[in-house]
Amino acid sequence: MRLLLTTSQGIEDLARAEVENLLSELGVPFRVEEKPLGVEGRLLAEVGEAYYTDGKGRKRELSVSTYLNERSRLLHRVIVEIASERFEGIGEEEPENALKRIEDFVKELPVERYVKVSESFAVRSFRKGEHKITSLDVSRTVGKAIFERLERFGRPKVNLDHPAVIFRAELIGEIFFLGIDTTGDSSLHKRPWRVYDHPAHLKASIANALIELANPDGGPFIDPFCGSGTIPIELALRGYTGEVTCLEKFRKHLYGAKMNALSAGVIDRINFILGDATKLSEHVESVDFAVSNLPYGIKIGRKSAIPKLYMDFFGELAEVLEKRGVFITTEKRAIEKAIGENGFKVIHHRLIGHGGLMVHTYIIE
């Protein structure tokens, strides 16, 4: 079986390592490729059949897609591949021709293997790159081709709101992909524990990527701008045994973080402090790891305040940080100046896709 796995751009290597670890635990043969056909934010996993022994000692087939949906912390979707194809020049083609190519391709695919005629289906599409067609056009065309093929076997049922089977069609540049979305309509990064919705919250998948980059070893850990608590909550859910602190200046967000932690079942694992990160040393004596999604100018309104905020914060961080820090922000110039002038060294930099932007991420020591 081939699975198309989606995640954020820029963390494919970390997601791959996670998937490889999870698949190793199953003891099945597998191969995981990052950015298949050059597509960012995607992995392709070829996986052999997996089995488990049930309570009565019988050998049963294990659904690898369900297993990944349940266990992964970095993936967004798990999609069973039906087919992929490169459509050269599709970006320049007139809508009619581009859609005809997609329709002709889908018509020949054995979609009847994936949906029973008695089951309802819908097509959800994702499109990225330069095309003269929209994702809605892709959904309609693919839906029509699937419907007509299924008509050979009975009377197909479309249900756009609550389908039993979701086909996912992706057109990314010249690459077209069709599969069955086993994740459903809500991406895995939307965690069920989130009851308080911070206006600038971090995707849980990216929070886990930052935690992987920090690689905390059990020592004291802080998110000094913790907002709704995404990073501390995800760390606690990973079973971190060290001290975890969530510091936030605004009462409303800190209260929201507590509600989220309560809903995640980890409220007792996190210290919540209402306080200012530019006075960090008043709140904590020393920490081994600091990981945070820093306030961005555009999100907090007063962009001019950012350089001073970062300078003051990194000055305080220099007083308390023992091991490593990982920070993500759009404010490249301000963070690099604050890191450099406070005696830290950047040991790794990468760009991560978040909220439609490529955001700068630094590991510092």
Distance CA 241, CA 269 (A): 9
The token pair at 153 is 């076997």
The interface with ligand SAM within residues 184-213 (CB under 6 A) comprises 198, 200-202
Complex with ligand SAM: residue 104 or 282, whichever CB lies closer: 282
Is position 360 an interface residue for ligand SAM (rule: CB under 6 A)?
Answer: no
Is position 250 an interface residue for ligand SAM (rule: CB under 6 A)?
Answer: yes
Is position 181 an interface residue for ligand SAM (rule: CB under 6 A)?
Answer: no
Complex with ligand SAM: residue 7 or 230, whichever CB lies closer: 230
Instruction: Answer positive or negative: Cα dihedral of 275, 259, 70, 168.
Output: negative
Q: Which residues of 336-357 are buried (b: 16+ CB within 10 A; e: fewer)?
A: eebbeebebeeeeebebbbeee
Distance CA 91, CA 88 (A): 8
Site string for ligand SAM, 125-164 (x = CB under 6 A): ----------------------------------------
Distance CA 233, CA 185 (A): 24
The token pair at 353 is 């896709």
Closest of 252, 262, 260, 251 to residue 231, by C-alpha: 260
Is position 230 an interface residue for ligand SAM (rule: CB under 6 A)?
Answer: yes
Complex with ligand SAM: residue 197 or 285, whichever CB lies closer: 197
DSSP string for 23-90: HHHHT--EEEEESGGG-TTEEEEEE--EEEE-TTS-EEEE-HHHHHHHH-SS-SEEEEEEEEEE-TTT
DSSP string for 216-263: --SS-EEETT-TT-HHHHHHHHTT--S-EEEEES-HHHHHHHHHHHHH
Is position 253 an interface residue for ligand SAM (rule: CB under 6 A)?
Answer: yes
Site for ligand SAM (CB under 6 A): which residue of 74, 138, 145, 277? 277
Is position 258 an interface residue for ligand SAM (rule: CB under 6 A)?
Answer: no
Distance CA 156, CA 147 (A): 6
Closest distance between ligand SAM and the C-beta of residue 248, in Å? 5
Stretch that binds ligand SAM, among 61-69, 92-100, 226-234, 349-357 (CB under 6 A): 226-234
Complex with ligand SAM: residue 127 or 253, whichever CB lies closer: 253
The interface with ligand SAM within residues 33-52 (CB under 6 A) comprises none
Is position 361 an interface residue for ligand SAM (rule: CB under 6 A)?
Answer: no
Closest distance between ligand SAM and the C-beta of residue 127, in Å? 28
Site for ligand SAM (CB under 6 A): which residue of 173, 179, 220, 295? 295
Closest distance between ligand SAM and the C-beta of residue 184, in Å? 23
Complex with ligand SAM: residue 253 or 269, whichever CB lies closer: 253
Residue nearest to ligand SAM (CB): 227
User: Which parts of this chain interact with ligand SAM (CB under 6 A)?
Assistant: 198, 200-202, 225-228, 230-231, 247-250, 253, 276-278, 293, 295
